[in-house]
Amino acid sequence: MRKLATFLLVVVVVAAAMFMYGRRDVGREVRFMRVERQRLVSRLTTNGKVLPAEFTAVRSEAEGRVVRLRVKEGSRVRRGEVVAEVDVSAVRGELASAEARKAQARADLEVYERGGAAEALAEIDNGLWQARLDLEIARREAGVTARLVEKNAATKQELTAQQDRVKQLEAQIAGLEKKRGSLLPTGGREAAEARLKEAEAGITLAELRLEKAVIRSPQDGVIYNLAIRNGAFLRPGDLVGEVGQLNRLKVTVYVDEPELGRVSVGMAVAISWDAAPGESWKGEVEMMPAQIVAIGTRQVGEVRCGIENRDGRLPAGANVNVEIVAEVVENALSIPKEALRREGGKTGVFVRSGDQVRWREVELGTSSLTHVEVKNGLQEGEAVALPAEPPLADGEKIRAG
């Protein structure tokens, strides 16, 4: 019984050895793909941010609290339309004060032009008119009396009395003229003119500040990135929001530095947005970056693309997915990328040659997501090996899977 068991064990071992030897001669099973011609589209996939092609920041020129916000995010506005109003009640007080000073300065100048206050001036002028008339009569009478005295037709006492009358009238006129001058405002005409100019400047400044308190849209467009709310405190230069035309957008596309050589002006661009699955927007590359910038851990060039957005579905500020069509090669001789190998610092493939695989170096061109163009080293219809474990070796026997 023991001999029989030993015999059967020997038979099994021999059979297994013969099977393994046969398998070794046949080679292991390897999967292959044919070299074929197809249209290859090289796409570069990355991300970007959307902005209007034409936009302007709306900033406050006044200081104060927002008392009235006239728009909301997404509002359409016309150039000059009121966006918000800032509380500047103190400026209205300054304006009223300046207007009062202007009125007083003008009244002072009118006094100078008339020579004094109207009612008092009229009274003095009437008195002057009467005194001058009386003086003329008195002088005439004194002259007549003086001639009569020479002819002994009148006494010297009468002449002295008339001459005293002349002196009294002259003194009266001088007093009235002095009183007339005292009716003019103090400081002189020049001072009144200076006060008028200062008041007018104050009015202009206050009106300008009141105008600046009304924040207006600088262009036609849609309000986005609204940065304030009612009650917010603004200082000159603070951002209120942005307004732009959203029918055409620009997309800042972040292209990693090593990939920039694949991109050029005029390349087609497809934009998608996670919030609108199934939708896409078309455009093209319009401007290449002038510098490399750091965004997080990435070193990127900010490529500028233009896209149409006539339905307004894509909002400004959206973070989008970007696909740039870097190159299209028609009828390219291609293989799957997974067939490529690196051997001795060179790129190549294992090509089926009968029941063996042979190493062959290749020259590559454009690549798509799954395939790569072969410019030299392969011919259409040849079979290239797909990855195997353990790795294939040049000259190894195989069986096609």
Q: How far apart are CA 39 and CA 219, in angstroms?
A: 47
Is residue 223 within 8 A of residue 77, CB to CB? The reply is yes
Is there a domain that residue 121 lies in? yes
Is there a domain that residue 137 lies in? yes
Is there a domain that residue 8 lies in? no
Q: Where are the beta strands (DSSP E) in 199-345?
A: 214-216, 221-224, 233-234, 239-256, 268-272, 281-287, 292-295, 298-308, 319-336, 341-343
Nearest to 77 by CA among 231, 244, 233, 204: 244
Is residue 299 within 8 A of residue 257, CB to CB? The reply is yes
Q: Rounded to the nearest 5°, which phi and psi values hold at 284?
A: -150, 160
Nearest to 46 by CA among 312, 303, 355: 303
Of the candidate ranges 96-105, 173-182, 270-279, the one whose mean pLDDT is the lowest = 173-182
Domain end call among 299, 330, 361: 330
- Residue 255: strand pairing partners: 301
Give me the CATH number covering residue 315.
Answer: 2.40.30.170
Of the candidate ranges 98-102, 115-119, 298-302, 311-315, the one whose mean pLDDT is the lowest = 115-119
Q: What is the pTM of this model?
A: 0.55
Strand duo 64-69 + 268-272: pairing: unpaired
Is there a domain that residue 366 lies in? no
On whether both 76 and 165 belong to a single domain, the answer is no
Is there a domain that residue 32 lies in? no
On whether both 249 and 321 belong to a single domain, the answer is yes
Is there a domain that residue 374 lies in? no
On whether both 82 and 224 belong to a single domain, the answer is yes
Q: How far apart are CA 229 and CA 105, in angstroms?
A: 43
Give me the CATH number covering residue 221.
Answer: 2.40.50.100
On whether both 266 and 278 belong to a single domain, the answer is yes
Give me the number of domains the chain comprises.
Answer: 3
On whether both 236 and 252 belong to a single domain, the answer is no
Distances (CA, A) of 335 to 32, 229, 353, 379: 10, 59, 17, 11
Sheet of strand 82-86: strand arrangement: 214-216, 82-86, 64-69, 233-234
Residue 20 has what pLDDT?
Answer: 47
Is there a domain that residue 341 lies in? no
Residue 110 has what pLDDT?
Answer: 73
Strand duo 239-256 + 298-308: pairing: antiparallel
Domain that holds residue 66: 57-87+212-240
Is there a domain that residue 388 lies in? no
Q: What is the pLDDT of residues 278-298, one digit of tens each?
A: 999 999 999 999 999 999 999
| Backbone Cα Rg of the chain | 52
Of the candidate ranges 95-99, 186-190, 316-320, the one whose mean pLDDT is the lowest = 186-190
DSSP, residue by residue, 77-108: E-TT-EEEEE--HHHHHHHHHHHHHHHHHHHH
Distances (CA, A) of 214 to 1, 13, 81, 200, 240: 113, 100, 10, 22, 12
On whether both 195 and 125 belong to a single domain, the answer is yes
Q: Rounded to the nearest 5°, which phi and psi values hold at 230?
A: -60, 135
Helices (H), 153-301: 156-182, 188-212
On whether both 281 and 319 belong to a single domain, the answer is yes
Task: Look at the block and give the residue holding tokens 């009244």.
Answer: 107
Q: How many CB atoms lie within 10 A of CB 166?
A: 19
Domain end call among 206, 223, 253: 206
Say whether pLDDT at 27 is over 90: no
Distances (CA, A) of 343 to 210, 270, 305, 372, 389: 77, 37, 40, 18, 16
Q: How many CB atoms lie within 10 A of CB 18?
A: 10
Mean of pLDDT values over 29-48: 94
Mean of pLDDT values over 309-324: 90
Domain end call among 330, 362, 385: 330
On whether both 110 and 167 belong to a single domain, the answer is yes
On whether both 67 and 130 belong to a single domain, the answer is no
On whether both 68 and 105 belong to a single domain, the answer is no
Q: How many CB atoms lie within 10 A of CB 116?
A: 19
On whether both 104 and 194 belong to a single domain, the answer is yes
Q: How sure is the predictor about 36, in pLDDT bands with cuts at 50, 70 and 90?
A: very high
On whether both 121 and 266 belong to a single domain, the answer is no
